[in-house]
Each structure stands twice: as C-alpha cells, then as structure tokens.
Amino acid sequence: MAQPDPQQHAQRLAELDVSADLFTVVLSMALEDVRGCTDFDAPAARGFLFWSRANRYLAELLVPEERWGHTSRDSILRVIHPDRTHAITAISAEGGVADLNKRVRSKNPKGPAMARMVEKNGQLAFLSRDEVEYGVELDELPTWCLLYKREEGLIKAELSLPVKMNGKFVDEWLHRIPISLPPMEDPGFDISLDEPGDDQGPEVMVEFLGEN
C-alpha cells in the first residue's frame, strides 16, 4: 500500500478538527509525566500513566477551548466532537504504527465495551439514552483511536478508525492516518507504554468494618 503524502495526512486530520501539532503536544506532555516515575512505582505505572495522561491532555486541550465533550464511560476515555460526528480515544498499539504497509493492532486485549464500540463504527447513528447528556448514543458514535507506540526511543502514532476485533484485539481498520511526530527526547530508561485492557483496572482490597 502506497503511503499518502503528508499534505493528504494533514487534510484528513483537519477534516476531523485535529492536527499533528495537537497530538505532538499531547504525547510530549504524557511522556514528560512518565519521566517522573521511578523503580519504586508499580511495574505497570509508566504505561498506565502514559495512557491516562495522553487521554487527559487530549481532553484538556479540546474540551475547554474547542467545546468538545468528554466521557470515561465503560473505562474508555473519549473526547467527543462538538457536532457529535465522531470521538477519539488514545490506546497503545503494536505492529507497524504509522506505516500503512504494515498491519497494526491494539497492544492490549480489550473487553466487551470496546467490542461494542468497534462494531458500531461506520454505521448510522441513532439518538438514544445518551442524547440528553452527550447528544448521541455513545455506542453508535464512530470512535477513532490515537494509536501510539514507543520504538527505539521514539514515539510513533497514527489516528485510525477501527471496524473489527479478532478475539480481544482491535486489528482491522477502515481508515489509518499516519501522524508525523518530531523526535521526542528519550526518557533515559526502558519504558513500556502499555495501557490497561478495557474493563480492567487496579485491584483494590476493601475491608468493610461494622458500625460501632
């Protein structure tokens, strides 16, 4: 598959009201936060933090100024376009990220919430129970994935529209838009940018005490 030229990439991103510059800022800030982790953090802390902060900064840059919406329903962190035409979420990936000649898939297994979302991508939207809060039923909203991967000290990314999961991995895409990122300073240690799988979170032991 031939790689479209950078101008075509930029135009396709602009049609979604985003840009490579936006994603550069988002991923750079997330990487800076990860640099604050040490070996005394949990083993998965760096990957979890990068995933969380990438989605957080995406929301902070788009929600207040650009009037996008935001939801964390079903543990899928999404920003929603003001016209309710599409949403975006950031997840880690593996394979040929930003290389249209190679296959790419989500890095971590996903659960039923992500499966429902992927199955609805590309279909007509029907207003339903989420109309009051979001203006559209979230499961019917085409959701693009900001795929990211760390490779040889560099961050690679693309914005892609998933249409199918095989097993628990998202690996079929209707559209893939490579994002041209400048080199980002290596944090100086080997890091994994894996984010948690869908419907997963840290285990917390809770002890219920009887009333005195």
Going from N- to C-terminal start, the domains of the chain cover: 6-179
Query: 106 with 93: CB under 8 angstroms?
Result: yes
For the segment 110-125, the average pLDDT, to the nearest whole number, is 73
Residues 28-82 pLDDT 10s = 999 999 989 988 999 889 899 999 999 999 999 999 988 999 999 888 999 999 9
Query: 28 with 12: CB under 8 angstroms?
Result: no
What's the pLDDT at 70? 93
- Give Cβ neighbours of residue 13 (< 8 Å, ≥ 6 apart): 19, 20, 159, 177, 179
Query: 141 with 84: CB under 8 angstroms?
Result: yes
pLDDT band at 11 (very low <50, low <70, confident <90, very high): very high
Q: Which residue has the tokens 């995406």?
A: 58
What's the pLDDT at 202? 38
What's the pLDDT at 173? 94
Residues 44-56 pLDDT 10s = 898 999 999 999 9
What's the pLDDT at 130? 54
* pLDDT above 90 as % of the chain: 50
What's the pLDDT at 132? 44
What's the pLDDT at 136? 62
pTM of the entire predicted model: 0.81
Residue environment code for 161-183, b if the CB has 16+ CB neighbours within 10 A, otherwise e? bbbebeeebbbebebbbbbebee
What's the pLDDT at 210? 46
Counted residue by residue, the chain has a size of 212
Mean pLDDT estimate for the chain? 81
How distant, in Å, are the alpha carbons of 76, 117, 144, 147 from that of 139?
Answer: 11, 5, 13, 20
For the segment 5-9, the average pLDDT, to the nearest whole number, is 87
For the segment 88-96, the average pLDDT, to the nearest whole number, is 94
More confident position, 131 or 140: 140
Q: Kindly state the DSSP code that residue 138 receives in the 8-state scheme.
A: G
pLDDT at 199 over 50: no
CA 29, distance to chain mean position in Å, is 15
What's the pLDDT at 14? 95
Closest CA to 105 of 51, 68, 149, 54: 149
